[in-house]
């Protein structure tokens, strides 16, 4: 899909607890002293929460760059939050309010986003790379029984 004059574009914001609060939570290494450490490790506990009933499944998602960075669908899960953790490159996460306002967040390696139950979101886009892979963690069985998907008017997201 080619971008045309007048098409809607989406600004990409850095992932921060302040900006992402209405969609979910952010996990990033705290700048406080670790709970436990020695010369071989440092451990911070309870950085964020992921409440799952029925067990969890962990998947991989690899996304590929598009010239236009188009987002034309969204999905949501009513029974589970979703945790996204970039593995090999930063990713851009598009999310949408109930009023169809689309926002996108850049998630750096070393950060994670926990999308709340019921929040509309799309597959991530690679940020500054031809492809990116990330972990997806949610309630076991979600892809088969808890996905509502809709088409939306195309939005164009910059590949940052």
CATH number of the domain to which 138 belongs: 2.60.120.480
Confidence of residue 5 (pLDDT cuts 50, 70, 90): low
Q: If you average pLDDT over residues 130-149, what whole number do you get?
A: 93
Q: Scanning the structure block, which residue is given the tokens 């929040």?
A: 119
Mean pLDDT across the chain: 89
For the chain, what percentages of helix, strand and coil (3-state, to nearest 5) are there? 5, 50, 45
Residue 160: what pLDDT?
A: 63
**What pLDDT is stored for residue 46 in this prediction?**
79
pLDDT at 31: 86
Identify the domain containing residue 82 by its residue range: 8-29+54-157
Is 96 contained in some domain? yes
Q: Is the pLDDT of residue 141 over 80?
A: yes
Q: Is residue 48 part of a domain?
A: no
Whose CA is closest to 9, among 153, 125, 131, 108?
153
85/78 Cα distance (integer angstroms): 21
Please report whether residue 117 resides in a domain: yes
Asked if the structure places residue 39 within a domain, the reply is: no
pTM value?
0.85
Q: Give the mean pLDDT of 101-106.
A: 95
Of all residues in the chain, the percent with pLDDT exceeding 70 is 95
Q: What's the number of domains the chain is made of?
A: 1
pLDDT of residue 74: 95
Residue 45 lies in a domain: no
Rounded to whole angstroms, how far apart are CA atoms 156 and 86?
Answer: 21
Residue 69 in domain: yes
Residue 34, in any domain of the structure: no
For residue 84, is it within any domain?
yes
Q: Where are the alpha helices (H) located in 103-155, listed in sequence order?
A: 142-145
Give the model confidence (pLDDT) of 21-73 as tens digits. 999 989 888 888 988 888 787 888 878 878 888 889 999 999 998 877 889 99
């Amino acid at each position: 899909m080619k971008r045309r004059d007048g098409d809607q574009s989406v600004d990409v914001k850095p992932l921060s607890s302040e900006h992402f609060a209405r969609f979910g939570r952010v996990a990033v290494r705290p700048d406080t002293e670790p709970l436990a450490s020695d010369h071989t490790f440092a451990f911070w506990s309870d950085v964020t929460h992921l409440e799952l009933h029925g067990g969890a499944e962990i998947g991989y998602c690899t996304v590929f760059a598009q010239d236009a960075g188009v987002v034309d669908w969204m999905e949501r899960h009513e029974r589970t939050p979703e945790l996204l953790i970039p593995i090999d490159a930063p990713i851009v996460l598009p999310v949408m309010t109930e009023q169809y306002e689309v926002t996108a967040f850049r998630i750096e390696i070393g950060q994670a986003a926990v999308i709340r139950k019921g929040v509309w979101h799309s597959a991530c886009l690679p940020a500054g790379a031809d492809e990116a892979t990330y972990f997806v963690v949610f309630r076991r069985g979600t892809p088969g029984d808890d996905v509502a998907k809709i088409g939306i008017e195309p939005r164009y997201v910059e590949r940052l």
